Amino acid sequence: MKSLVFIVLVAVAHGYVVEQTATCKTAYSTAGLSSNFNETIAHAIHSMTVEGLRLFNPKATEKNCIPTVNHNISADIKVLPYAPSDCIGGDFSTWTMNTLDKILSNIGIDDDGLGPNWSAIERTAHKFHMWDLWMKILQVYQTRVVSNPPTDDVCECLTDTDNNGIYKAVHWVADHYKHGTPITLLNRPIPKLTDAKTWGIWKQRLLWYYTEPALYDAAVYIYCATLAF
């Protein structure tokens, strides 16, 4: 009897997922999301912080549901179910110098979620790239999303990260941080950042997700993910 009940529950759950997937595909298309929204969103949020979320909603806290790479890259759990706070010191007078101070003061500790393979200059480039990207996303958020917000159906589908590919894409980033410095989800080799030539390659890759569709995907997701605050 228990086996029969279990089989029925599995069948019902499978049916729900199939129905949900079909419904969500329509919702994504209607909302104008790109076909690879899970990739563009995962890149935007993989190292999201409470401080980053507060660009979009000043009430944001650690009680959020945004999957991010675990800063403890050696932990069994590679992806956290929330974006953590990332406080910086105040020894300097600007946010830029205090952020740089935190990065350089933690060289060799590798507790920023990037793993052991990133140099100090690569960590600095990654940190400022993410904040620069969030500012670009914020522009789209303010000009396109706030005035024409996604429907409840779209938000329900987008925040179901376990089933829509976003969590899986964030986990891909976490897995690859153990072995290299992936700055896109394209699975292409990236050279160590050592000179102007290699910076040219890094710059090209960093700008990959600055397209209007990628920015819009992330802006819609962040709108949905911060509604509860």
Beta strands in the chain, from DSSP E residues, in sequence order:
68-69, 79-80
CA pair distance 75, 178, nearest whole angstrom: 11
Per-residue pLDDT of 85-136, as tens digits, reads 999 999 999 999 999 999 999 888 877 778 788 889 999 999 999 999 999 9
* 116 vs 67: which has the higher pLDDT: 67
Nearest to 136 by CA among 43, 33, 201, 69: 43
- Tokens 């996303």 belong to 137
pLDDT (0 to 100) of residue 176: 84
**DSSP category for residue 166:** H
The predicted-structure confidence for 5-43, as pLDDT tens digits, reads as follows: 333 333 333 444 444 688 999 999 999 999 999 999 999
Which one, of 68, 93, 72, lies nearest residue 81 by Cα? 68
- Residue 220: pLDDT band (50, 70, 90) is very high
What pLDDT is attached to residue 14?
43
- Position 177 scores a pLDDT of 81
* φ, ψ of residue 155 in degrees (nearest 5): -65, -40
Give the closest residue to 109 by CA, choosing from 72, 148, 135, 158. Answer: 72
Q: What is the pLDDT of residue 13?
A: 39
Rounded CA Rg of the chain: 19
Q: Supply the DSSP symbol for 112.
A: S
CA distance 180 to 136: 26
pLDDT, average across residues 50-65: 97
- Enumerate the β-bridge partners of residue 79: 69
The 10s digit of each residue's pLDDT in 126-171 is 999 999 999 999 999 999 999 999 999 999 999 999 999 999 999 9
The values of phi and psi at residue 65, to 5°, are -120, 35
- What pLDDT is attached to residue 63? 96
The three state secondary structure string of 115-152 is CCCCCHHHHHHHHHHHHHHHHHHHHHHHHHHCCCCCCH
Mean pLDDT of 193-200: 96
In this prediction the pTM is 0.88
How crowded is residue 32: how many other Cβ atoms within 10 Å of its Cβ? 14
Q: What is the 3-state secondary structure (H, E, C) of 40-86?
A: HHHHHHCCCCHHHHCCCCCCCCCCCCCCEECCCCCCCCCEECCCCCC
Domain range summary for the chain, segments of one domain joined by +: 2-225
